[in-house]
Structure 1
């Protein structure tokens, strides 16, 4: 029997997703999973909420909540939305789960064993006030391409160029 692992892009946890997220990612994967199951194939359809990175941190700060509490609440909201649309996930998890951490470490170890990970150095902006390096989305300034004065450190929202 043919076995299929199907995933969709995992949604950031930074708020309620709009219909475009469903139509552009989760719904096509769900249709493919249903099609494969209908053909008698073994399917494992996985998705999760992405609870790592700046989007989660910024959204939690805006909501006035600790990141872990905000992520737990938003995961439940997004799981209910998926259930409401009857998406056929076999598992809808969290990127912060112990299972995901163990699996990620397993794959990272395999990549390291095969010489596919290399160490690099890069420059980052450090905030003495915050006592940490700042993610690019925390940095605002003027875009060198179009002079938009509220460009973020990763991409200009005005001209869409990567910075």
Structure 2
């Protein structure tokens, strides 16, 4: 943690070692979301663990898992039929469109760290929508309303795959595969993009998108790559 990488002292994680312990997307996300702006970024295992767990596992991975597993349990592995958008969906679409514009602007300016923050905010928007609309509760009284929520959320997984590909291309490909689509069109029209997967479209529940880094793993890696002082 901290200090300069040193091959002679065995301090630091080098590419071959990094890919032995975790998939490339974990490293891509940390490196890009901590891209230096005015000075060098310092790598610490605590920060790396927090970034992977809070951003990738708890936000994006959690959204994908909750949506697909709930749909499978109540509607099967197809995009559910029924219901129409309401105020909550209109508000989310507006929020996503605004957030996407901010993300695009930061990418155009090559402000990579700021772009990653905007991307994470888009992931958060989906989670907050899911939490506030609570399809698992709504389903008991109004299955059509639950169908609307889940249908939008499944389409949002496809949108997340497309816009996240610059940062986490492997996970993005897995998300598209789970949604059973090759459609990588950029969501220029957010409402239209959230209808790309039609009612009745088949999908599959993916394996866990991102495994959390445990404290034991972090401590092991801290010791293994500390080198000699």
- Higher relative contact order, structure no. (Cα contacts within 8 Å, ≥ 6 residues apart): 2
- Fold conserved between structures, TM > 0.5: no
Q: Which has the higher helix share?
A: 2
TM-score (norm 2): 0.23
Q: Which has the higher strand share?
A: 1
TM-score (norm 1): 0.29
